[in-house]
Amino acid sequence: MFINNVESRVKKLVTESIDGELVLFNAEENQSIMLNRSASIIWEYISGAEASGKSVSTDDIVSMLCSLYSIPSDQRQRLYNDVIQVINGFYDSGLLIRI
């Protein structure tokens, strides 16, 4: 899959959730990560896109979140920056891998 035109793949992890917040565990590397609600939604969106063979952009994710939370358009840019930060965090922590 492509994320913002960068070919990437999602790390295969075991997951559980509490009230919509994900707990991810990578048994091979004994690594665990707990996501807050927003990061969990973004992660599930990206994972879902990969499973159905689609590409994802930051704009897609921002649009999805704006629709989900009825976020006014004047806050879109701030949200955009937050989503980029979350996606970078996924790469940094090895949840997303650049191919």
Binding site for another protein (CB under 8 A): 14, 16-19, 21, 23, 25, 27, 30, 32, 34, 36
CA distance 3 to 87: 9
Q: How far is the CB of 35 from another protein (least distance, A)?
A: 9
Place of tokens 């969106």: 45
Q: How far is the CB of 20 from another protein (least distance, A)?
A: 10
Enumerate long-range contacts of 58-67, CB under 8 Å, 24 or more apart. 58/4, 58/83, 58/84, 58/87, 61/87, 65/38, 65/41
Q: How far is the CB of 81 from another protein (least distance, A)?
A: 17
Nearer to another protein, 3 or 10 (CB): 10
Nearer to another protein, 25 or 80 (CB): 25
